[in-house]
Each structure stands twice: as C-alpha cells, then as structure tokens.
Structure 1
Amino acid sequence: MQYSWVNQQFKRIAVKKFLKHRGISHRIFTSIKHHGKLYLNHHRIVTSQPMKLGDEVAVDIPSEPADPHVVISHGKLDVVYEDQNWLVINKPAGLTSVPGPHNRHDTVVNRLKGYLLAHHSPNLRPHLITRLDMYTSGLMLIAKHRFANSLANQLINTHKIKKVYLAIIKGHLKTQHGSVKMLIGKLPNEIKRHKMINGQFAWTEYRQVKSYPKFTLIKARLHTGRTHQIRVHFTEIGHPLVGDHLYGGPMDWGIKRQALHAWYLAFPDPFTHQVRKFKANLPADMKRLLTQK
C-alpha cells in the first residue's frame, strides 16, 4: 500500500521525523526500509534524508503475512463496515476476542484470519483496536494493517474514539445523568477488579434510558478504557449489571451473562478525515429481558 504526503509545514526536517508526524512509527519505518520502498520527490531513497518545504515523500508499506500460530476459523463474522483500512464487527456474546489458554481455535482473531484469507486480503494480521469481554456483545473496531493500527493508537491516546454501551443494571439510580470516577485495579491471581487506592483512574458517564420495576436501562460512555470498567463501577455504587455472575449481579432475572452491549462507536477516520459512526441494536437476550412483565 502506498501513501504520500507533501511537506507544507517544515522548512527543513528529516524524512523519518516527518513521517513520525504522519503516524509512521519507528517499527513501520524499519519495515519500510527493509521490505518496502521509500521515495523523496519520486526518487527512491534507502534511508532518512532531510526534506525541504514543498518536498513530497511517499512510502510503500509492506503487507503483513498471517501469524502462523493463529488457527484459522471460518466461524461467522457480523461485519458492520469495511474498507481497505478498517473493519467494524458486531461481536456476539460468548465469543472471546483473542486466543488464550482455554480457547485458541475460535475467537474474533481466529475468525478474522479466516475472513481475510477468504477475501484475499493483502494484510492478514488484523489489529484489535477495541476489545470486548467474552460475554459482552457489540461493536469492535479492527485495523486491517499496521499503519491503521498506528493511527488508531494515536486516536486512543488523544481520547478521540467514542464508545457508548447499553447496560441493564439492578435497581434505580438517583440521577438521570451522572458520572462514576474511581481508581480500579485487581489483586494478584484474580480476574475480578475492585476499587483500589493504588488502582488506575477510571471514568464512566451515564444516562438513564428507561426505568423498569427491578432494573434500569442505561447508556454508559467510557472516558477511559479499563478492564471491566462499567461492571466494576456500577457494582461499587450498588447497582451491578443483571446477569453478571463475577460481580454479584442477579442471575435469575432472565439473562445468564452480563447485560452489557457495545452499542455506539465513533471515530475520526485519519485516512479520509470523515467521522465514522456506527450503532448495533440490542441483541435478542437483552431485548427479551426488557420485555418481561
């Protein structure tokens, strides 16, 4: 894949430093030098050189081969959006995001490998930008190549990826709109997270959508991205998610997994400068819970 830029900002700057401003990491630059191509004003160069105002630099970024350690799965992927840089999928509850000790054969990553191979993609090593717990459903953003991954990491670092979840929590909140802010972390050899004085700062903003006799449907926006953040926050304020066994949520109200769904995803696409926005409707199990008498 080739990308090019004209220097319209710097009187004099090294090619490598200029490309860093455009999202080309040191690792990508090294890969370009060894396996790709680098051009300055349409002339091939093999290393970083100084460039002047008005100079053009172009790069051919080598494709990424498949990871031989990742097993191919041809399981279904619900693709919401795709272009040459991004994939957005709607993950079902029960599907793990990445291979682990207990499942190396059928995860989002395994299915992505099968999908990309079937569609003859030049890049076969997808990068998960937003991950979801196994029993959380909804939207996930995937970068289809290393350059998109580098740019997405910049979006994460500047808090430009907007994620909003729909959750069903036990009981009723006192305010229609509010925030939960606290330090959360985990003890050694535990999966569960807790409020901890030496934890990481976590911030969740919420709005009530509808109140039911025993529970409340809320929208929860993540301003930080800590593991189990929403689950921990609402447990700590006395409103665990319905169906959340790990955090003490009610398990006999009609759903057997945490009632949490990644409903909305938005980000400014650095390739097109458009804001990409996506929504995924509530899955059947959460809909059924809300329609119970």
Structure 2
Amino acid sequence: MSTFQHIVTEEQAKARVDKLLSDINPEISRSQIQSWISDGYVTVNGEAVKANYKCQTKDLVEWSIPEVEPLHITGENIPLDIVYEDGDLLVVNKPKGMVVHPSAGHQSGTLVHALLYHCDDLSGINGVERPGIVHRIDKDTSGLLVVAKNDFTHVQLSEQLASKEIKRAYEAIVHGEIPHETGLIDAPIGRDSKDRQKMGVVENGKPAVTHFRVISRFPDYTHIECRLETGRTHQIRVHMRYIGYPLVGDPKYGQRKTLDTDGQALHAKVLGFKHPRKQEWMEFEAEPPQYFADTLDYIKKLY
C-alpha cells in the first residue's frame, strides 16, 4: 500500500477534503475518494475525518492507496508514438481515433492495452482499467499525454495538474471568424441537465478556464491555439461552443453542417511539466497530424 501526504495551502483552505483529493487526483472519481475516506484510508493531522471535512491552512492530509486488484486487461501489440520515456514516465503522442482507457464498447485497442504490452509497470492509483493514466484526451483528439509508471510519479504529476503547473496547449479549427486576437473563457463546466452524455456551461459546474489566441482566420473558419488552466471533460469543445465558435467536425458540440474530419479538429500540441524525480522542467511538442494540415489547405482553397 502506498501512502502520500499533502499540506493544505491558503488557497485550498475551506475546501472539502474529498474535493481537495479529487483535485489532486483528477482522474479518480469523487465517489472512489469518498470510499477511501469511509474505509479509513484518509486522515487529517493524524485523525480520521468525514468526506465533508473543511480543510484548514497547513492541515496535513495523508491518504493511502489500497492495493490494486489483479489486472485482467491483456496488453496488445499496438504501435505507440513515444516522444519520451524513462524509468518513471512516458510521453505519448496519441493518434486520432484511439480511446485512452477501456470502457463499455471499447474493450480492446485502447492506449492502455498498448501501454500494458510496452511497459512492465504502470501506476495503480486509478484502478485496473486506467493504469498509468494521469490525464486523458478524447478519442478523436490527437496529441500528447504523460503516463506514470509508478504511484510516486502519478501523485506528483496529479498535484501539478491540480495546482495548474502543467503546461497544455492545443491547436483547433473552429467555425466562424473570430474578430479579436486573444480571448479568455472563464465558465464553469458540468453535466448538461438535458443530456447526461454531454457537458455544458452550468451554474454549479466545476471552475474551468481556457485561454485562446488566433493563429489564422478565414471568412467562415478560424485556426486557434488554446491553453488550459483547468482540465475539465470536453473543456475546449464546450467552451468554444459556448462563445459561438464550435470546433470543426465535432459530432457532439459542433454544427450539423461541418467539414468531414472524422471527429473534432483538435490536437494536444504542447505538454510541459516538472519531472517528479529529477525536478527539471520538461516540455514536448508534437505537430498536428496530416488530416489537420489537409483541412486547413481545403479551407484556404475555399477563398
């Protein structure tokens, strides 16, 4: 069993302990963390607490990760575009169309299946279906992901995510000509009350902040770069739709009439973080795949 510690900062004071741990471990569900708390795996200043305990500045929060049940997912020999690898982590350039982890309807061919074939060890914090997965990107979004090989690395990277220290920049193509050069979208995201399969900007959602800048514009389309402060589900897709510029090719949040890109035109281009063990800043960049360039060429020829 692995045990971890976190000292509550002034900014985190007054937060519920289950929410604090959820923010530190964004890929672990709140219900799973609440289960840890009720089973006694979480203490504050050495004492057991309830999930609704309000943290105070300088509280010492300790939590233990229960032993992971045996893994029943078999690795598959799927090619991986590995940008960087060492004993603690990998940085992978995920192709468009690949699901990150197994789920209903996706029991093979995922990034996790490929990783299990490639690696002897992956972190176990997220359970048997998400080994090593610190953060994820959607099936039809391509680009960079960091994968943890051990629990120490996983927790350290998750804390960087929670404290907004990880750099993540995306390129996207959206409908509409954005008139200004830069923008900031600060709008909370949660489940859409009318469609539980979708996310939306909702009053009681989780804080979500997206920065964007225009790379190039056309009469009906704009090529942009987006930088995330937070990492909510479908964040860029939801935020750009919210301000009236939905992503090209997006079947869930886009226009009915759109370009045929087989999913949203979105690519995770830049990923930067402090290496958990070496404590050195590392930054990686992967150019968008060919379909992205082809789509831009097609748009240019329209005008």
Which category describes the TM-score, using the shorter chain as reference length?
0.7 to 0.9
2:98 is equivalent to residue 95 of structure 1: yes
**How far off its partner does 1:20 sit?**
3.6
Q: Give the distance between the partners of 1:66 and 1:290, measured in 2 at CA.
A: 46
**How far off its partner does 1:201 sit?**
1.5
- The verdict on how the C-alpha distance between 1:100 and 1:123 changes in structure 2, with shifts beyond 3 A counting, is closer
Percent sequence identity over aligned pairs: 35
2:255 is equivalent to residue 255 of structure 1: no
Corresponding residue for residue 245 of structure 1: 251
Corresponding residue for residue 54 of structure 1: none
Q: Which amino acid aligns with 1:159?
A: K
- TM-score using structure 2 length: 0.71
Find 1:127's aligned residue among 112, 119, 132. 132
Corresponding residue for residue 291 of structure 2: 285
2:173 is equivalent to residue 168 of structure 1: yes
- The verdict on how the C-alpha distance between 1:105 and 1:192 changes in structure 2, with shifts beyond 3 A counting, is same
- Measured against aligned partners, the alpha-carbon deviations of 1:83-114 in whole angstroms (never above 9, x if no partner) come to 11110000011110110010112111111001
Q: Give the distance between the partners of 1:201 and 1:145, measured in 2 at CA.
A: 29
Corresponding residue for residue 142 of structure 1: 147
Q: Give the distance between the partners of 2:215 and 2:87, measured in 1 at CA.
A: 36
**How far off its partner does 1:122 sit?**
5.0
**How far off its partner does 1:276 sit?**
0.5
For structure 2, list consecutive stretches of 5 or more residues without a partner in the other structure.
Answer: 8-20, 22-66, 125-130
Q: Give the distance between the partners of 1:131 and 1:141, measured in 2 at CA.
A: 9
Kept in 2: contact 1:242–1:251 (CA 8 A): no
**How far off its partner does 1:190 sit?**
1.7
Superposed counterparts of 1:1-293, under 5 Å: 20=5, 67-116=70-119, 121-123=120-122, 126-187=131-192, 190-249=196-255, 251-292=257-298, 293=301
Provide the alpha-carbon RMSD of the alignment: 2.3
Corresponding residue for residue 47 of structure 2: none
Query: Who wins on radius of gyration, i.e. which is larger?
Result: 1
Corresponding residue for residue 39 of structure 1: none
For structure 1, list consecutive stretches of 5 or more residues without a partner in the other structure.
Answer: 1-15, 26-63
Q: Which amino acid aligns with 2:211?
A: E
- How many residue pairs match? The answer is 232
Corresponding residue for residue 12 of structure 1: none
